[in-house]
Amino acid sequence: MAAKRAKVKVKSKARAAASSSAATKGLTTAARKRDIKNFVRQLQVERRSRTHKQRAGWFHARVSWPLRDRSAARLHAERRRAERSLPAAPVPAAAQWQCAGPLNIGGRATAIVCDPRALDRILLGTAGGGVWKSSDAGRNWKSTMRKHEHNIGALALDPQNPKIVYYGTGEANLSTDSYAGIGLYKSVNCGSTWQLVASSAKTGIPTRIGALAVDPFDSSRIFLGGVSHAYGDQTISSGGLFRSADGGRNWTPVDFVSGHYWCHSVEFHPARRGWVFATITERGTRNGIWVSQDGGSTWSQANAGLPPADGFGRTRLAIAPSQPDTVYAIAALADSDELLGIFRSDDAGGNWRDVTSNFASESQMSYGLALAIHPQNPDYVLCGGVDLQLTINGGGTWRTVTRWYAERDADNYAHADHHALLMPPALPGRVYDANDGGLDVSEDGGLTGTIAARASAARCSTTSRSPNPILASTAAVRRTTARC
């Protein structure tokens, strides 16, 4: 039996290669049955039981990314129908749920923002559990979702009024266990309540929003980027970059490249009005970093000092708060999970240089890709994929500062697969790290530290009516004051 299991065991690189190949096929249209069968043949599904066979992979592939997206709009419509049709009876006390643990682990977190007026107030977006809020830097959590959790891909604050927060639904991390959303939501009270301001089905914005930014000079101007795939009766875009001039109600696609493309990152220059940076993949020579100096009306591709554009895959940008003409980019190799390189510009994207130097090997860059710059030191940068890497000399040298396989109480432990990093500008030294385990926090910029506290806000509960606990987990967040 052991030999049989070993024979069908999947190696991560083979799985990633199959996913990457299928992603190319599914970029613009829904997959046909032949595409699904070909995709599943590449998957060596591990037979853990008599029913977990190759057909399980087929059923998964036909309703999930990269070949097809399950319709999130249809799911939410069915939830609303059920609410209208089912009687609103009170739940008996014996049937209510109570937290039963575990308390040391969370679920995948994808995005994070921090209120600049209240530095311990943070909002965390999760892959399948909506948006969570903490008022004490992650020690305690409360869900901001009243009824239905969403798949969150991006969060953004209005720099002029941090009470205004947006979240984009649909996870844009390129994995088969990430799911689409239904559009863009807005809060005017720091996440206490939310309103759908732009439906993907009506406005054409992506159903997987992985990039979101509000203009620091004009709160009504918003950019978002993401990926999408046609499915069923939805008439939606195949991804790309979109802009709004009215606070998110109406959207226009930014057609600075021909054909279908994906947008993975968008950033406004905080000191140059009208300057916007974006990264795209179009499966060709238009991949890479683009810059606009007129609010997104016209764009130019950054080339000076960079590798050939067709080598760029998913790319993340970050701007140094203390020296905003300094921009960093971390890029995956096209059609691969490997690292292409880390690049730096000191003239607002005009010229670039490779600062990868002795950067340790990283993988899964199409899935976990994070980058942040110290608020007072443009040479102090954290980035990574599976683990986190740190430079304190502008990329001259790098060292690995987290190990996902370390003991949980070790100084260098942080959960694997990092999706978002945040260093609050008004609180130098603190790092928020959203990853597959929830949220890790460092208080010293990732140099040293020990685990001080953990608190889970997971929906991990048990019902008291049954002698055998029934566990349910939909969303999870954990806090660890530890080295990042």
Give residue-wise pLDDT tens across range 367-389. Answer: 999 999 999 999 999 998 999 99
Q: Which is it for the CA torsion 71, 72, 74, 75, positive or negative? A: positive
Q: Which residues of 276-293 are buried (b: 16+ CB within 10 A; e: fewer)?
A: bbbbbbbbeebbbbbbbb
Q: Cα–Cα distance between 385 and 99 in angstroms, integer?
A: 31
Compute φ and ψ for 150, nearest 5 degrees: -115, 160
Q: Cα–Cα distance between 92 and 316 in angstroms, integer?
A: 48
Q: Cα–Cα distance between 76 and 90 in angstroms, integer?
A: 23
Q: What is the pLDDT of residue 320?
A: 98
Q: What is the pLDDT of residue 12?
A: 40
Q: What is the pLDDT of residue 89?
A: 64
Q: Cα–Cα distance between 115 and 458 in angstroms, integer?
A: 23
Write down the domain spans for the chain.
Answer: 2-61, 108-433
Q: Write down the residue that tokens 């683009």 correspond to.
A: 290
Is 295 in contact with 276 (CB distance < 8 Å)?
A: yes
Q: Cα–Cα distance between 351 and 304 in angstroms, integer?
A: 5
> CA angle 320-324-328, nearest 5°?
50
Q: What is the CA radius of gyration of the chain?
A: 22
Q: Cα–Cα distance between 482 and 158 in angstroms, integer?
A: 29
Q: Cα–Cα distance between 398 and 481 in angstroms, integer?
A: 23
Write out the two tokens for 401: 């500062």
Q: What is the pLDDT of residue 6?
A: 38
pTM, entire model: 0.81
**How many beta carbons lie within 10 A of that of residue 162, not counting itself?**
16
Q: Cα–Cα distance between 109 and 152 in angstroms, integer?
A: 8
Q: Cα–Cα distance between 122 and 140 in angstroms, integer?
A: 11
| Regions in the chain scoring below 70 on pLDDT | 1-69, 87-95, 99, 101-106, 229-237, 259, 447-484
Q: Cα–Cα distance between 151 and 72 in angstroms, integer?
A: 9
Q: What is the pLDDT of residue 297?
A: 95
Q: What is the pLDDT of residue 14?
A: 42
Compute φ and ψ for 79, nearest 5 degrees: -60, -45
Q: Cα–Cα distance between 133 and 145 in angstroms, integer?
A: 10
Q: What is the pLDDT of residue 83?
A: 78
Q: Cα–Cα distance between 314 and 345 in angstroms, integer?
A: 18
Q: What is the pLDDT of residue 455?
A: 35
Write out the two tokens for 306: 């960079």
Q: Write down the residue that tokens 């994929």 correspond to.
A: 385
Q: What is the CATH class of 108-433?
A: mainly beta
Q: Cα–Cα distance between 165 and 169 in angstroms, integer?
A: 13
Q: What is the pLDDT of residue 410?
A: 84
Q: Give 156's strand partners.
A: 166
The dihedral formed by the CA atoms of 253, 255, 259 and 263, expressed in degrees to the nearest 10: -70
